[in-house]
Amino acid sequence: DQQVKQNSPSLSVQEGRISILNCDYTNSMFDYFLWYKKYPAEGPTFLISISSIKDKNEDGRFTVFLNKSAKHLSLHIVPSQPGDSAVYFCAASRGGGTSYGKLTFGQGTILTVHP
């Protein structure tokens, strides 16, 4: 049972354009969502997060949107740069009980930004 899904294994974008990465979740108890970026031979790096009490969070070129009714979140990168080429993972967390602090990850989307 995959509770966090990234249905697009890969995405290719031209430099300067917008990259939109999508993520769907099934567990309505999730209340905190994160995006990570991963380069080859490195660990995932935290990028941006959003609490379920918000529907948008922005940090520089990166914006995360949360649609709770659709159980969907997206990461927008504007403008995209070749250095953004990496694997992007979305992750979700529940606030309470033994799940406190645990993250459930999606399978990842490979983003390639062409010069």
Partner 1 sequence: DAGVIQSPRHEVTEMGQEVTLRCKPISGHNSLFWYRQTMMRGLELLIYFNNNVPIDDSGMPEDRFSAKMPNASFSTLKIQPSEPRDSAVYFCASSLLLAGTYEQYFGPGTRLTVT
With CA atoms as reference, report the closest residue to 64 among 105, 93, 21, 4.
21
Alpha-carbon dihedral sign for residues 102, 58, 24, 115: negative
Residue 107 as a binder of partner 1 (CB under 8 A): the answer is yes
Residues 5-34 that bind partner 1 (CB under 8 A): 32, 34
Residue 44 as a binder of partner 1 (CB under 8 A): the answer is yes
Residue 41 as a binder of partner 1 (CB under 8 A): the answer is yes
Residues 74-93 that bind partner 1 (CB under 8 A): 89, 93
Opening angle at CA 109, ends 108 and 111, nearest 5:
140
Residue 42 as a binder of partner 1 (CB under 8 A): the answer is yes
